[in-house]
């Protein structure tokens, strides 16, 4: 595909060689963290997003997370009195620790439920050599009716009204502070070694759930999936533009069409700052280059601007926008394919004999672009 660099004669060409890939795939497993929102904790093995198209080896049973409507990361535990849903504040992967809080600001109530419920594959984090005795109270007048206090304190010292509070039970615990956050840990699978080496972790290729893992580097083959954080407002903006744009030349493809055109993203052409580019076929005669966009922090404006600008360009020496994809969280741009690759690869110094085109040829290219 013809591209541009720091040379005036090619400044109006589309730069493809610098579009980078943001997500990687290793045996079906992404090498990039996912997030429910821009400030959410990174989600990677052994955790996975529930109900996403994820290979079995990309997550571990019991480590399913969900994204709330407000883009908060949540985890759910079963309980006899109903599901316990807690917000995930942070995940410390090298230490196998999960920090939780209650979105309803009554963590002690949820803590009491968890004491009576299975939380496997997690365990309560224990501070070595430290133990505390707690009394669990039910205080009807409090915004959070379940109160946990040190057993050595009196109700008066705790600032509670004895008339409104009833003792329900005593408990031993190894952490003195779980009124604002609760810390869980896990022992299996143990990816601490991989994390401390700056690598990622996944189940071994046999796919068994025995906890046997292996490490892999973060950057490998480009992904077959692009997951974006897109708000409803962004979706509305993009859809409105595409509706207005529908009468123009570029065709609109579904994500299923994109997978078919690229043969499941089989052949990569390049990667750069905004996505990976794959070779594809509209038919046996028509070859295309498909750029999968990976702008997780954008609001759709970049996508709209590129479709708007490239849809108007029709020049023999400029790559043409054939179509686009705006299907859910997937964004793609489909260009006609230039079999000779990027012009940038041939704009070299004269002493590079193998690739230098010669001044006469470069002049012809410049004149052709200027027409």
Cβ pair 250, 307 in contact under 8 A:
yes
Which residues are known binding-site members?
291
Is residue 232 exposed (0-12), middle (13-18) or buried (19+ Cβ within 10 Å)? Answer: exposed
The torsion angles phi and psi of 276, rounded to 5 degrees, stand at: -100, 150
Q: Do the Cβ atoms of 63 and 76 come closer than 8 Å?
A: no
List, as one string, the DSSP characters of 256-281. HHHHHHTTTT--EEEEBSSEEEEEEE
Q: How far apart are CA 370 and CA 92, in angstroms?
A: 56
Q: Give yes or no for a contact between 337 and 289, defined as CB atoms under 8 angstroms apart.
A: yes
Provide the annotated binding site for ATP: 291
User: Please, which residues have CB within 8 angstroms of residue 23's CB and are 6 or more apart in sequence?
Assistant: 30, 31, 32, 222, 223, 225, 226, 227, 294
Taking only Cα atoms into account, the Rg of the chain, rounded to an integer number of angstroms, comes to: 28
d(CA 306, CA 96): 43
């Amino acid at each position: 595909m013809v591209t541009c660099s720091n040379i005036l004669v090619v400044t109006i060409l589309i730069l493809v060689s610098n579009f980078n890939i943001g997500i990687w795939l290793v045996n079906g497993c992404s090498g990039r963290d996912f997030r429910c929102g821009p400030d959410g904790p990174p989600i990677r093995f052994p955790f996975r997003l529930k109900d996403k198209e994820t290979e079995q080896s990309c997550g571990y049973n019991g480590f399913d997370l969900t994204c709330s409507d407000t883009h908060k990361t949540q985890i759910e535990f079963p309980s006899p009195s109903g599901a316990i849903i807690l917000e995930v504040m942070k995940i410390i992967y090298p230490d196998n620790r999960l920090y939780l809080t209650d979105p309803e600001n009554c963590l002690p109530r949820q803590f009491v439920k968890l004491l009576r419920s299975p939380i496997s594959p997690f365990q309560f984090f224990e501070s070595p050599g430290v133990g505390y005795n707690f009394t669990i109270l039910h205080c009807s007048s409090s915004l959070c009716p379940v109160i946990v206090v040190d057993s050595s304190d009196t109700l008066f010292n705790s600032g509670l009204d004895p008339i409104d509070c009833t003792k329900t039970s005593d408990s031993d615990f190894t952490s003195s502070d779980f009124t604002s956050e609760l810390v869980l840990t896990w022992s299996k699978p143990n990816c601490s070694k991989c994390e401390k080496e700056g690598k990622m972790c996944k189940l071994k290729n046999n796919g068994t759930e025995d906890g046997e893992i292996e490490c892999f580097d973060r950057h490998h083959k480009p992904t077959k999936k692009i997951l974006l954080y897109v708000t409803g407002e962004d979706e509305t903006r993009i859809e409105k533009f595409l509706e207005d744009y529908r009468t123009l030349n570029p065709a609109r493809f579904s994500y299923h069409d994109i997978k078919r055109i690229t043969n499941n993203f089989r052949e990569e052409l390049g990667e750069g700052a905004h996505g990976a580019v794959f070779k594809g076929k509209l038919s046996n005669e028509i070859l295309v280059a498909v750029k999968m966009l990976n702008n997780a922090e954008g609001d759709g404006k970049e996508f709209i601007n590129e479709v708007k600008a490239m849809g108007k360009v029709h020049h023999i020496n400029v790559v043409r926008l054939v179509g686009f994809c705006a299907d859910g969280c997937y964004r793609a741009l489909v260009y006609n394919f230039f079999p000779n690759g990027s012009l940038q690869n041939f704009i070299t110094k004269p002493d590079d004999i193998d690739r230098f085109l010669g001044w006469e040829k470069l002049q012809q290219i410049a004149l052709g672009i200027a027409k």
